[in-house]
């Protein structure tokens, strides 16, 4: 059997996508190992999810460093110590800088809750609803220096449920969890 690909998951919030990836690995749908969870928010719920699975967490606040380069250098060092090969962004609410982009060229992926190139950046679901679109969706893409601009790996459409943000969001999250696992199966070979 081939080796499990060592990955790190980056998250700033709840971590439901982290959870979906971790469970897919446990159920042997995905042949990878989460060596580290990286978060920029020391109170993010993803930390509890990781700890309950015994996965190490690196919580680092950018404001504790004198520059973005130093912040990312600290992360890079931890990733190297763990021999991580791929970075999986799952609700990491920061633009990745050149230190990590160079360290992991073409090996950083992200999930975004819209059909890119529509509705980049924050609150993509709110943007779609404010715009009145009837169909939105989910995109998994490679990360480049732009905001949600890298090459697209997989997309899936989701119907907007009129005037119901909560239900639309729930439908998008459910699709995210399946789509991320499907995309990672494809690329982590």
Q: Are 89 and 125 in contact (CB under 8 A)?
A: no
Which ranges constitute the DSSP H helices of the chain?
16-26, 45-52, 68-81, 98-103, 124-131, 165-187
Residue 150 in contact with ligand GRF, rule: CB under 6 A? no
Distance of alpha carbon 116 from alpha carbon 167, whole angstroms: 21
Residue 87, judged by CB atoms within 10 A of its CB (0-12, 13-18, 19+), counts as: buried
Q: Among residues 8, 9, 10, 16, which is the contact residue for ligand GRF, using CB under 6 A?
A: 16
Residue 139 in contact with ligand GRF, rule: CB under 6 A? no
Which of 48, 80 has the CB closer to ligand GRF?
48
Q: What torsion do the CA atoms of 139, 110, 149, 155 make, to the nearest 10 degrees? A: -10
Which of 73, 127 has the CB closer to ligand GRF?
127
Which of 103, 113 has the CB closer to ligand GRF?
113
Residue 112 in contact with ligand GRF, rule: CB under 6 A? yes
Distance of alpha carbon 6 from alpha carbon 10, whole angstroms: 14
Told to judge if 131 belongs to the known catalytic residues of this protein, a careful annotator would answer no
Helices (H) and strands (E) in the chain, counts: 6, 7
> Least distance to ligand GRF from the beta carbon of 183, Å?
12
Among the residue ranges 10-18, 21-29, 33-41, 68-76, the one whose residues contact ligand GRF (CB under 6 A): 10-18
> Under rule CB under 6 A, which residues in 48-107 are in contact with ligand GRF?
90-91
User: Tokens in use for 14?
Assistant: 């709840």
Q: Among residues 176, 179, 183, 184, which is the contact residue for ligand GRF, using CB under 6 A?
A: 176
Choice among 31, 98, 112, 173 that is catalytic: 112
Which positions touch ligand GRF (CB under 6 A)?
11, 13-17, 90-91, 111-113, 176
Catalytic residue annotation: 112
């Amino acid at each position: 059997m081939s080796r499990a690909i060592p990955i790190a998951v980056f998250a700033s919030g709840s971590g439901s996508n982290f959870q979906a990836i971790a469970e897919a690995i446990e159920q042997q749908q995905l042949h990878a190992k989460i060596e580290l969870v990286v978060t920029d928010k020391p109170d993010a719920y993803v930390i509890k999810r990781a700890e309950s699975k015994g996965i190490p967490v690196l919580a680092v606040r950018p404001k504790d460093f004198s520059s973005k380069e130093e912040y990312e250098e600290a992360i890079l060092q931890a990733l190297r110590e763990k021999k991580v090969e791929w970075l999986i962004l799952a609700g990491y609410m920061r633009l990745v800088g050149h230190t990590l982009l160079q360290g992991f060229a073409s090996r950083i992926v992200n999930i975004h809750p819209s059909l890119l190139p529509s509705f980049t950046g924050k609150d993509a679901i709110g943007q779609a609803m404010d715009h009145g679109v009837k169909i939105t969706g989910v995109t998994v893409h490679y990360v480049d220096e732009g905001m949600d601009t890298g090459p697209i790996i997989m997309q899936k459409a989701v119907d907007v449920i009129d005037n119901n943000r909560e239900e639309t969001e729930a439908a998008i999250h459910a699709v995210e969890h399946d789509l991320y696992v499907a995309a990672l199966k494809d690329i982590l070979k």
